[in-house]
Structure 1
Amino acid sequence: MSADATADRHHYRRDVTGFGVVTIRPVRPDEDADLLHGWVTQERARFWGMREASRERVHEIYAYLDSLATHHAYLVHRDGVPAALAQTYQPEADPVGECYDVRLGDVGVHLLIGPPVRVERGFTGALFGAILDFVFTDPGRLRIVMEPDARNDKVLDRLRRTGFRAGPLIDLPGKRARLHFLDRPAAAD
């Protein structure tokens, strides 16, 4: 975790120089369902797999995730404005865990950047960096596993530029995915 960040297991605050204050807190299904429904049903979120979901279904899904000890959903803010939805999960408790050899310390991550307030160069990289920092605040997390849709070229490119290494193609319910892995940075120890 960087020196300008504070975190506990489920909350995070980091002042990212030149970008703003990034805060991360658990999704509150009753409060956040309208916002999340607006995001996940947009064409730009087609790889999220919820384009046709009703507001009630979105609430139901995030209430269910909130009940699990193995999966967590977070709302990410930049300077108080909602900016992204992040999810973490234990791969051994998820279908992805059946598709590769899960290691001790693996954590799965899903990320959906919200619709931009305005197009801003460097926005996704800065936000993603803070989210990765948050994920690695838990010292038991040694490797991040992501499994984006194999057709999602923008995300695949972002992962490569961030230092993830590509793994095999896998078949998951509803998608063909490309596994990607990022080892815990040595400086994070």
Structure 2
Amino acid sequence: MFCYKCGNQLPNGAIFCNKCGTKVFGGEIQKKTPDTANTNFETKKITASPVTNEKTPSEVTHSVMIAGKYYDIENTTHLQIKTAITDADMINISKLVNLTSLDLEKLNICNITPLAQLTNLVKLDLSFNQISDLTPLLHLPNLTELWLISNNISNLTPLEGLHKLTFLSLSLNKISRIKLHRLKSQLPQCRIVF
């Protein structure tokens, strides 16, 4: 089965596309199959049945809603949000514990506390927000790439323990050269753009 919106191949029994978050369960999905009589394609309609008592709770995929779309908790590894999000959306993002890449650029975010739960994150983009407290990032030891362009950052101490960082962008923040020099000495393997 394939997602009708993005074309992503879906596992059997999927309720939501793990790539774009589109609901594919409980609705009508169109699948094109070759017509053997000629080279035209015919459209066969496949109707997915709603969740009923046929499945046990452990067989039903769990999901969360973020900015009006559903995301599979267990299978979502990459997430890019382009529309405004609420505090509740941030809490739901924190439930996507298998995320490895997260892009929350230009969303006017102030509080990133819920992101501390995302310990599998490798890439994180929080550019063009209103973030001043980076303390929650202390809990993300697997980060290798971090974008924090144009925020309200002045304290870099929480970043000093992120020893896997290989790239960090801090452009357009209120950071003193002394603090930047100290961070560079703590993270010598990291390319820091300021």
Q: TM-score, normalised by structure 2?
A: 0.26
Structure with bigger RCO (C-alpha 8 Å, 6+ apart): 1
Bigger helix fraction: 1
Q: Which has the larger radius of gyration?
A: 2
Bigger strand fraction: 1
